């Protein structure tokens, strides 16, 4: 069964450093999303991406965050200057034309 | 008032029990309702997907939606220890908006 692949599974970084989280979507999917889940809290929407541009973003997705598809396959989330409160699980999700999203296993980001 | 309310549990049941998981919501625009299962430190996995009111059955799982009461349920029959996970409800308005609003999840423990 096709799946969404995320790397790395765990990223440890120092406060103020830049991190890039990577996602390989399911091959025929057109819509891409990033979510985060702080430990013990809800899954929160960050951003959606379609046709090589951001289609929606939440209040969380401020100027510190950016997304891109650098090579037409990978989908990345960059955090420019990490803060302690950025520590969370980050999930990539992809979607075909139907209203169903498939999630990757996530990247656990630990900011020290 | 939070948009989607879900009792975090934990809900502990013996193997073979019927489990009932529930969410309430406040936004009458929601049309698509999903249940995800999330194992510890993994991404959400889509279990059930329903549109508007009614019931949907898939094996041991039954999803119910009552839009008049703004109440959705997931029933698990003959529960197994492997069903132990966190169950997230999620919903979207549809009509071009695919961003789900998640409940915070209910932790289910099925003990042998």
Query: Looking at the partner chain, which of B43, B98, B105 has a beta carbon nearest the beta carbon of A95?
Result: B98
Measure A71 CA to nearest chain B CA, in Å: 24
Asked if B88 lies within 8 A of A43 by C-beta distance, the reply is yes
From B35, which residue of chain A is nearest by alpha-carbon distance?
A100
Once rounded to an integer, what is the mean pLDDT over residues B10-25? 96
Does A4 sit within 8 Å of B43, measured CB to CB? yes
CB A5 within 8 A of CB B68: no
Tell me the pLDDT of chain A (112 aa) as tens digits.
678 999 999 999 999 999 999 999 998 888 899 999 998 888 999 999 988 899 999 999 999 999 998 877 889 999 999 999 999 999 999 987 666 788 999 999 999 9
Greater confidence (B24 vs A40) lies with B24
Whether B99 and A48 lie within 8 Å, measured CB to CB:
yes
Q: Distance between CA atoms of A31 and A51, rounded to whole angstroms?
A: 8
| Region of poorest pLDDT, from A3-7, B39-43, B71-75 | B39-43
Q: How far apart are CA A27 and CA A4, in angstroms?
A: 9
Burial of residue A18 (CB within 10 Å: 0-12, 13-18, 19+) is exposed
Q: Compare all CA atoms of chain B with the CA of A55 and give the residue at the minimum distance.
A: B97
Task: Report which of B60, B59, B37, B34 is spatially closest to residue B48, judged by C-alpha positions.
Answer: B34
**Which phi and psi angles does A100 have, rounded to 5°?**
-130, 130
In the predicted structure, residue B24 carries a pLDDT above the cut 80 = yes
Cα-based distances in Å from A44 to A2, A49, B104: 24, 16, 10
Half-sphere exposure in the Cβ direction for A32 (13 Å, CA): 27
> Taking Cα atoms as reference points, which of B6, B53, B7 lies closest to residue B32?
B53
Q: What angle do CA A32, A44, A78 make, to 5 degrees?
A: 55
With CB atoms and an 8 Å threshold, state whether A48 touches B36: no
A103 interaction partners in chain B (CB closer than 8 Å): 36, 43-46
Which CA distances in Å does B47 have to A10, B25, B59? 26, 19, 11
């Amino acid at each position: 069964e096709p799946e969404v692949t995320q790397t790395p599974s765990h990223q440890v970084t120092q406060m103020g450093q830049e991190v890039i989280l990577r996602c390989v979507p399911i091959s025929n999917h057109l819509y891409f999303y990033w979510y985060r889940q702080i430990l013990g809290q809800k899954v929160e929407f960050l951003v959606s991406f379609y046709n090589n541009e951001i289609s929606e973003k939440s209040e969380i997705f401020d100027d510190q965050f950016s997304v891109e598809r650098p090579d037409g396959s990978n989908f990345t989330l960059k955090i420019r200057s990490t803060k302690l409160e950025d520590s969370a699980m980050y999930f990539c999700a992809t979607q075909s034309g139907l209203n169903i999203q498939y999630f990757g296993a996530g990247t656990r980001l630990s900011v020290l | 008032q939070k948009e989607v309310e879900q009792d975090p549990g934990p809900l502990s049941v013996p193997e073979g029990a019927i489990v009932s998981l529930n969410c309430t919501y406040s936004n009458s625009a929601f049309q698509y309702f999903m249940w995800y299962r999330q194992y510890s430190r993994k991404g959400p996995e889509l279990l059930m997907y329903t549109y508007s009111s009614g019931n949907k059955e898939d094996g041991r799982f039954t999803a119910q939606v009552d839009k008049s009461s703004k109440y959705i349920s997931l029933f698990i029959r003959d529960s197994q220890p492997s069903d132990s996970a966190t169950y997230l409800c999620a919903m979207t308005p549809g009509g071009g908006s695919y961003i789900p609003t998640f409940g915070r999840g209910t932790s289910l423990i099925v003990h042998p």
